[in-house]
Structure 1
Amino acid sequence: MGQRYWGVLVGVLVLLVGCGEKIGPGTSAPAEREVVRAPVAEARVSQEPFQYEAVATINARTGSTIAAKLLGTVQAVHVRQGDRIKAGDLLVTIDPRTVSAQLEQAQAALNEARRAETSALSARDAAAAAAELAEGTFRRYEQLRAENSVSDQEFDEVQSRFRQARATLSQTEAMVAAARSRVQQAEAALRQADVARGDARVMAPYDGRVVNKMVEEGDMASPGTPLLTVEQEGLYCADLVLPERHIQAVREGMAATVVVPALDNIEVEGTVGRIVPAADARSRSFEIKVAMPEGLDLKTGMFARVRIPLGGTGVLLVPESAVRQEGQLTGIFVVDEEMVARFRLVRIGTRYGDRVEVISGLGEGQRYVTEAPPTLRDGMRVEAIQ
């Protein structure tokens, strides 16, 4: 009983002592801030070349869709997609029988026209001889008439025969001209048929590769029917569109940087080779073709990114090491006058090597931590180091 009493008494005394020290809210003594050593710099705006970045598609500089020039059945297709070709290689053979029939018909028409020409020449020669005889007779009768040795009736008959002979000669000369014109037409038709016979064998226009095949053996080809698509290898360009507000800053021959992700993000320097002078009416943009350097393992249709310099502009740049990712937030540690770090949300823009553009959240003249250590937290004191 006595021991229990003394235990309760001691507990009450301890409680009274503890309750006697009242600490008002907000009056706790501040703990000393943790200090982190880190490099600090002042934000400055620098003049950097402004670059417009656009997505582009790799295309061959020279590509052709080979089409049929005559009507006929496709007898054979001698290449497949992906085959390399040389200039003059036989690609497609079209049944030449229709062309052969046209060639025979044209040859027959030429022979007929030449026979008609020979006949017209003979008729002209005969008419010329008759006209010469009629003219001689007429001249003699003119002299006899002057001597009153012929009657008017005889003179008129001779004169009429002379005029008829001249008219016949003119008619035969016109027949000769018409016959010669028909000969020329028949010769042109023969040449055209001979060319068409060559068109039955479709040849490669240049060295390259077959990228698409649109016909098979047995298909009917007609003039204009696409047969194959070929492109010249080794020469490619990156095609992109540029908004009209930037078109005045771009000129042919200027350098552009091209990045091809499919080739391990290789970065090469291209040249603006062509600017299509007319803008697209709906997008108000111009098509730009950037010539790629040779020797790259490029393929038509590859994705690329192109950066085109469009002049200088003021940019606030910070080292990439100064940017901290906190979940979905991007920020920089700004240092105030008391050297206390404050995490400031920023918006990042274009990257320039190991530096990044700060679009908003950081002003010129503000101090910031250029290389934020992992232990740095908002509210910590920073000791600046070199």
Structure 2
Amino acid sequence: MGITNMRKGAKKGTDPFSARQRRAQKRGLSPFLPPFFPFFPFFLITLLLAPLTTLAEEGLSNETPARLDWSTRMELGSPVSGTVTAVKVQSGDRVAAGDLLVTLDGRASRAELERAQAQAQRLKLAREEAEREYERTREMYDQALISSRELALAEIDQSMARAAHQGALAELTQARLNLEYSQVKAPMEALVVARHVHPGQVIQNTLQVQPLVTLAVAHPMLATLEVSSQGATELEPGTEAHVRVGDQEFQGRVRRVSLESREDTPDTFQVWVAFDPPEGHRLRAGMSAWVVLP
């Protein structure tokens, strides 16, 4: 029955094999290829890319999200009170060690320094006179011209004069320091993160020192991340790590691992990785980063 139908179809020009061959010839394909051949390249590409995708995923599996931070951040102030006369820097400026940042009105400090210098000079003369008087008294005592009590009193006067002069020298040192404190200078090469005062502003540091400028050290920078307890036990300071920020990659080392877990997330420990970005970099604290640990 089936053979008879196929023969009938062949007579009428509806042979399924012939129709398939004609469609293949129209597409520019060989009529003897299997019907799924047009899709074969797609299957081949998929099979070739699958292992690469798996390898890429495995290569990125060790990356841990992190946040960038400054290696050192400090707020600079002055222990003396006064009026701000000048602010020499703006946020974003780079400063070297010893650069002048903020100046306070130093007239009162200079006046105090002059008074302390005069007092120290006066007490120096008094001390020298007390020492000479003691020597004269000592000679008279050796000649049995005066009593031991008078010698003891001369020795006491000499000691008191020395103590008064020593106290005046201490006040002179403090006055010099106060005058130096009226000029706030950068203790190291750093980046100005923020300025907190303006010229004309009165600074009162009686109870607490008010910050004037905030500095940050940008070399090296830190990448802060969190690891599990197992990861914390496997890491040691000095362990090599890779830091990636966008399309930039840096070689770094673990600086330290926290000894206590975070209070809000138990069994999670912080790790700080230090790395040296190039000069003139645009990295900032708070940027997102990725760290690859061994």
TM-score by length of 2: 0.71
Q: What secondary structure, in the 3-state scheme, does the structure 1 residue paired with 2:144 have?
A: helix
What per-residue deviation string (whole Å, max 9, x for no partner) do you get for residues 157-192 of structure 1? xxxxx6xx2122122212212211221221122122
Partner amino acid, structure 2, of 1:184: Q
Could you say if the C-alpha distance between residues 172 and 281 of structure 1 is closer, same or farther in structure 2, counting changes exceeding 3 Å? Answer: farther
What per-residue deviation string (whole Å, max 9, x for no partner) do you get for residues 37-72 of structure 1? 54679x9xx9x8996654322122233321113111
Q: What secondary structure, in the 3-state scheme, does the structure 2 residue paired with 1:226 have?
A: coil
Return the alpha-carbon distance in structure 1 between the equivalents of residues 275 and 159 of structure 2.
60
Select which of 210, 225, 233 maps to 1:240. 225
Select which of 180, 189, 194 maps to 1:212. 194
Asked if 1:89 corresponds to 2:99, the answer is yes
Asked if 1:70 corresponds to 2:53, the answer is no
What residue number does 1:184 align with? 166
Asked if 1:116 corresponds to 2:108, the answer is no
Select which of 165, 168, 180 maps to 1:198. 180
How many Å apart are 1:282 and its aligned residue?
A: 4.7
What residue number does 2:68 align with? 58
Return the alpha-carbon distance in structure 1 between the equivalents of residues 276 and 169 of structure 2.
49
What residue number does 2:156 align with? 174
What residue number does 2:29 align with? none
Could you say if the C-alpha distance between residues 49 and 174 of structure 1 is closer, same or farther in structure 2, counting changes exceeding 3 Å? Answer: farther
Return the alpha-carbon distance in structure 2 between the equivalents of residues 183 and 277 of structure 1.
52
The structure carrying a bigger helix percent of its residues is 2
How many Å apart are 1:232 and its aligned residue?
A: 3.1
How many Å apart are 1:234 and its aligned residue?
A: 4.4
Return the alpha-carbon distance in structure 1 between the equivalents of residues 116 and 61 of structure 2.
64
Partner amino acid, structure 1, of 2:235: V
Could you say if the C-alpha distance between residues 174 and 51 of structure 1 is closer, same or farther in structure 2, counting changes exceeding 3 Å? Answer: farther
Return the alpha-carbon distance in structure 2 between the equivalents of residues 294 and 59 of structure 1.
12
What residue number does 1:288 align with? 271
Gaps of 5+ in 1: 1-33, 136-161, 310-386
How many residues are matched?
A: 243
Could you say if the C-alpha distance between residues 49 and 302 of structure 1 is closer, same or farther in structure 2, counting changes exceeding 3 Å? Answer: closer
Q: What secondary structure, in the 3-state scheme, does the structure 1 residue paired with 2:237 have?
A: coil
Task: Please say if residues 69 and 222 of structure 1, whose CA atoms lie closer than 8 Å, have aligned partners that are also in contact.
Answer: no
What residue number does 1:249 align with? 234
Task: Please say if residues 78 and 210 of structure 2, whose CA atoms lie closer than 8 Å, have aligned partners that are also in contact.
Answer: yes
Task: Please say if residues 97 and 189 of structure 2, whose CA atoms lie closer than 8 Å, have aligned partners that are also in contact.
Answer: yes
What per-residue deviation string (whole Å, max 9, x for no partner) do you get for residues 132-154 of structure 1? 2326xxxxxxxxxxxxxxxxxxx
Partner amino acid, structure 1, of 2:128: T
Return the alpha-carbon distance in structure 2 between the equivalents of residues 98 and 276 of structure 1.
47
Task: Please say if residues 54 and 305 of structure 1, whose CA atoms lie closer than 8 Å, have aligned partners that are also in contact.
Answer: yes
The structure carrying a bigger strand percent of its residues is 1
Task: Please say if residues 254 and 271 of structure 1, whose CA atoms lie closer than 8 Å, have aligned partners that are also in contact.
Answer: yes
Partner amino acid, structure 2, of 1:166: S
Asked if 1:304 corresponds to 2:289, the answer is yes
Partner amino acid, structure 2, of 1:288: V
Partner amino acid, structure 1, of 2:116: A
Partner amino acid, structure 1, of 2:69: N
Q: What secondary structure, in the 3-state scheme, does the structure 1 residue paired with 2:253 have?
A: strand
What residue number does 1:24 align with? none
Point out the structure with max Rg over C-alpha: 1
How many Å apart are 1:281 and its aligned residue?
A: 4.5
**Root-mean-square deviation (Å):** 3.1
Return the alpha-carbon distance in structure 2 between the equivalents of residues 308 and 232 of structure 1.
24
Q: Which has the larger displacement, 300-309 or 118-127?
A: 118-127
Report sequence identity in percent.
29
How many Å apart are 1:304 and its aligned residue?
A: 1.3
Gaps of 5+ in 2: 1-34
Could you say if the C-alpha distance between residues 109 and 246 of structure 1 is closer, same or farther in structure 2, counting changes exceeding 3 Å? Answer: same
Return the alpha-carbon distance in structure 1 between the equivalents of residues 287 and 244 of structure 2.
11
Task: Please say if residues 86 and 208 of structure 1, whose CA atoms lie closer than 8 Å, have aligned partners that are also in contact.
Answer: yes
Select which of 188, 203, 215 maps to 1:230. 215
Partner amino acid, structure 2, of 1:254: T
